[in-house]
Structure 1
Amino acid sequence: MAQRGFSLSISDRLSSRQATAFAQWIGGANVLRNYKVREYRDLLAQGRGAEINQAYAPIKQDPDVAFLKDIPVQILRNTASSAYTDAEAARKGISKFPKVKGRNKKRSCIITKELFDLQPVANDKTQVTIYDSATRKRTKLFSITVPYSSASLSKQFIISRQGRSFSFSGSLDDGQTHPDNEALLNDVAYLDDDKLLGYITGLDGGVARPLQACNGAIFDYTPEEKRQLRRHNDRIKRLQAALSGKKRRNGNKSRRCASNNQRHLANQIATLHGKIRRLRRNFAHRVSRNVVETSGEIICVEDLKLKAMTRRAKKKTQGRQTLKNGARAKSGLNRSLSNVGLGQIYTLIKYKANARNKGFLKINPAYTSKECHACGSRNTERPTQAGFHCLACGLKANADENSARNIAKRGVRDIKSGAFAAKAKPRKTSARRRKKHLESDLPLVGERPSGKKSESREDGLASLAASHVSTVETSGISPETSGSLHLSHAEAATLSTTKVDPSG
């Protein structure tokens, strides 16, 4: 069965009491998570990885974070379990180590079945009722009706916040069985090259044209969306400059906001980032749907290393002199690539294509922009950013469309050769000397050894408590924290499979 995700905005449905309660839950969960992340880093730096655990009860006894006693223990348990799972995955080289989240970042809390009830209503809908605790004397806190049957919903949900925006998300089983992507590609491998090429739609991602199909179709932001992105980015620049100036004049000893004015500016910046993120997500969903509806039986894209493509420019020096490194231009390119959101678009295309029984394939992107799709020669030139001229056969075409055609041709080659077959992903390894310690005490895979002194438990608690106590100017909403997490269908597909250890 296929897992799907959903996310509903609940900001306009919350009363002051409900918003305050959810803000306290999310704030407490984030304080605990940050503490556990710091604790794990300290243990690993000291070679005591075997002592990493999910315990959170001792933290509640500390007077600096006494407010955690007001948070339902199920919220704290779920947070500690999630942080432990992330840390263990990082130690095994499966993912990166979790980072400490600031107050203006995306933050959330996980709610399990002890804190909610599911009540079926008419037309295969379900009313989700959330309670303020798991005790017998609990009271109703909030309810929402979701357009899905209770049998298909997962056993846990996520409440998220960023700025003044709250959302309610979860996952469900759509009850449909879809063929494996590899099986879909194998089903067309027997076709001859020309016929197989007719089944394939190649897509080239870029900045000038976010997505160009080999059949000539162009997928781009609307003029209104482009105007909104420019306006939001320009306002973020002004607010960030103002916030930086206030911190400098105030002599802040840390990066945290030290006054109500600074916190107000930081909250405005977080709100604008949320608007940009929603614009990008809306664009990604619209484009992915249009691509899947108009494409052939197989969709081919480039296997791009987007993280490496959006890294900041390296610093250039000559002796003690700092040289120009094109950081401003690279920053603009990074912003343009982020606005396109190719990684998110490709993820959505993949799962939507599978839902329509269409195959999805990533190919090696080397020389797709330089090679001529007509004759295969690489003796080409780009007279303009959009222009392409082959010096061998004389072909003149749009550069993005030429790349899309090359991607489709490489899709034929990979399908014929079976290069798409799923292979075990190698884990990162690091060379180290043999030491007399347990395997569980080994340092994080891919982590650089740090020469800095680990932050003490008292310092960590003090900084977390200071961050928690600081206030945000929001009407009727408790200021402990702000954060939001919006899941796409593909991202939330794993939500129902996340297990929470009730032992704490």
Structure 2
Amino acid sequence: MPELKAARPWFAGIDSTVLQQNVKRLDTAYKNFFEGLRFPKFKNRSNFTSFTFVMGVKIQGNKIYLPKLGWMRFHSSRPIPIGFTIKACTVRKRQNGWYVSLRIEDKSVPDYTTKPLKDVVKIVGCDMGITKLVHLSDGSQIENPKFSTTKKAKRTLRIRSRRVSRKAKGSKNRKKAAQKVGLLHQKISNKRQAHHWKVAKKIVDRKIDGIALEDLNISGMMRRCRVKLEEKTGRFLKNGQAKKKGLNRSISDAGWGELILKIEYLAVKQGKVVIKINPKYSSQECRKCGHIDKSNRDGEKFICTECGYHEHADIGAAKTIRDRALKLVRGDSAKPGACT
């Protein structure tokens, strides 16, 4: 850092803790790369949209003091509780303005404690879906609004993106058009986040001791299909990627990962246990005879080819996930790899 400051005198106008946090972020990005994730993306002035202060942040009413920037007005969404101190402050740039998020701490407040597994009696199983966002083992289903994949949303996004491409590169009109696209994405994201919080609260507030969730590899589910080549001519063959593109878009719109994080957060606050279960064959396994076959399932219908047992495929999968979690809690002998 001293060498960077000597080479770039304008670094003196930036708070030292901000520079240190950015170096830590870069270090984390390279560590992730060496562990198998993608190479770090280059950040410039246009796409570097957040920075963090660790010291020197003060708040007085509707004013906040940021080191090297001074006092400025902001909208305080909620007051800081008495006894808490500011540990860090992150400033983010979004399409409709700048946002400040504070990390506060009070060491006298005890940590949340979850219920021991041996005391867990009642569990609800959750199966994530696209037609319905969540299928629950009690037979209920939660709707999926599909905020970005509706006909109206896709048409609006297509029109605004076309307007961006028709503007001259580097022009102010192109930046204005791009900002409108960003505002649409932000609006969709805000709606999705609000819906996720409502769904998570609806699930966690039930009279249960634990929640069984699928241990999903979402990035693996959205990975591109392998390329198929004709042996003689070397021409590319159809590999189903065009059809999978729509599925990937629906999975991204559902936001399963964000929803699971919110469920875990609210469950910890209420002292409830979250158990992640391997969902392998959960929607193909017959709950009556245990027969596993891909042909058991036809869309949302489940009809066992062995014994004829039938029910809703996704609700049956949620019940299977619940039963696997109960086996894990009770210590019953489960199939290898059935629970994680």
Residue 176 of structure 1 and its aligned partner are, at CA, apart by 4.2
**For 2:137 and 2:214, how far apart are their aligned partners in 1?**
13
Cα distance between partner residues in 2 of 1:361 and 1:75: 38
- Report SS of the residue matched to 1:157: strand
Q: Which shifted more, 407-416 or 396-405?
A: 407-416
Which residue does the alignment assign to 2:156? 235
The alpha-carbon distance between structure 1 residues 323 and 266, as it changes in their structure 2 partners (threshold 3 A), is farther
Q: CA deviation at 1:54?
A: 7.9
Question: Where does 1:209-248 land on structure 2 (aligned, <5 Å)?
Answer: 209-222=132-145, 226=147, 230-244=151-165
Aligned-pair distance for 1:239? 3.1
**Aligned residue among 41, 44, 56 for 1:99:** 41
Inter-partner Cα distance in structure 2 for 1:373 and 1:271: 47
CA distance in 2, matches of 1:229, 1:151: 46
Deviations 1:367-397 (A, max 9, x none): 1010012322224635641111112232221
Q: Could you tell me how far apart the structure 1 residues matched to 2:186 and 2:104 are?
A: 25
In 1, are the aligned partners of 2:296 and 2:305 still within 8 Å (CA)? Answer: no
Which residue does the alignment assign to 1:57? 5
- Residue identity opposite 2:102 in structure 1: G
Letter in 1 for 2:51: C
Q: Where in structure 2 are the equivalents of 1:79-478 lying within 5 Å?
A: 79-87=21-29, 89-90=31-32, 93=35, 98-101=40-43, 107-114=49-56, 116-119=57-60, 127=61, 129-131=63-65, 133-134=67-68, 139-145=70-76, 146-173=78-105, 175-180=109-114, 184-188=116-120, 196=121, 199-222=122-145, 226=147, 230-244=151-165, 257-294=169-206, 296-318=208-230, 319-379=233-293, 381-382=295-296, 384-417=298-331
Q: 2: CA distance between counterparts of 1:299 and 1:403?
A: 14
- Taking a change above 3 Å as real, the CA distance of residues 239 and 314 of structure 1, as seen in their structure-2 partners, is farther
The alpha-carbon deviation at position 334 of structure 1 amounts to: 0.9
1:339 shift after superposition: 1.4
8 Å Cα contact 2:147/2:253 also seen in 1: no
CA distance in 2, matches of 1:227, 1:236: 9
- CA pair 273-144 structure 1, distance change in 2 beyond 3 A: closer
Counterpart for residue 428 of structure 1: none
Distance in 2 (CA, whole Å) between partners of 1:233 and 1:103 is 30
How far apart, CA to CA, are the structure 2 residues paired with 1:346 and 1:128?
A: 34
| Paired-residue identity, % | 24
Match of 1:38 in 2: none
Q: Secondary structure at the match of 1:203?
A: strand
**Higher RCO, 1 vs 2 (CA within 8 Å, ≥6 residues apart):** 1
Would you tell me which structure has more helix in proportion to its own residues?
1
CA distance in 2, matches of 1:76, 1:360: 36
> How much is the aligned-residue C-alpha RMSD, in angstroms?
3.2
Task: Give the SS at the match of 1:113.
Answer: coil
Letter in 2 for 1:238: I
Q: Partners of 1:331 and 1:103 in 2: how far apart?
A: 32
Q: Is the 8 A contact 2:297 2:313 kept in 1?
A: no
Q: Contact 2:87/2:105 (CA < 8 Å) preserved in 1?
A: no
Contact 1:101 1:107 in 2 (8 A): no
In 2, are the aligned partners of 1:380 and 1:388 still within 8 Å (CA)? no
Q: By how many angstroms is 1:299 displaced?
A: 0.6
For 1:241 and 1:323, the matched residues in 2 are separated by 30
Q: Which residue of 1 aligns with 2:336?
A: none
- CA distance in structure 1 between the aligned counterparts of 2:45 and 2:236, rounded to whole angstroms: 34
Contact 2:289 2:307 in 1 (8 A): yes
Structure 2's unaligned 5+ residue stretches are 334-340
Secondary structure of the equivalent of 1:110?
strand
Asked if the contact 1:201–1:298 (Cα under 8 Å) also holds between the matched residues in 2, the reply is yes
Q: TM-score, normalised by structure 1?
A: 0.58
Asked if the contact 2:18–2:54 (Cα under 8 Å) also holds between the matched residues in 1, the reply is no
Instruction: Name the aligned partner's letter for residue 60 of structure 1.
Output: R
Compute the displacement of 1:107 (Å).
2.0
Structure 2 length-normalised TM:
0.83
Is the Cα contact below 8 Å between 2:124 and 2:212 reproduced in 1? yes
Alignment partners' CA distance in 1, 2:286 and 2:159 = 44
Distance 2:293 2:32 in 1: 45
For structure 1, list consecutive stretches of 5 or more residues without a partner in the other structure.
Answer: 1-52, 120-126, 189-195, 251-256, 420-504
Q: Aligned letter for 2:15?
A: V
CA contact (8 A) 1:298 1:359 kept: yes
Counterparts of 2:38 and 2:48 in 1: how far apart (Å)?
A: 17
CA distance in 2, matches of 1:270, 1:412: 45
Whether the aligned pair in 2 keeps the contact of 1:201 and 1:295 (CA below 8 Å) is no
Distance 1:54 1:323 in 2: 55
In the alignment, is the contact (CA less than 8 A) between 1:203 and 1:213 conserved in 2? Answer: yes
Give the 3-state SS of the residue equivalent to 2:116 in structure 1. helix
The answer (yes or no) to whether the contact 1:389–1:396 under 8 Å persists in 2 is yes
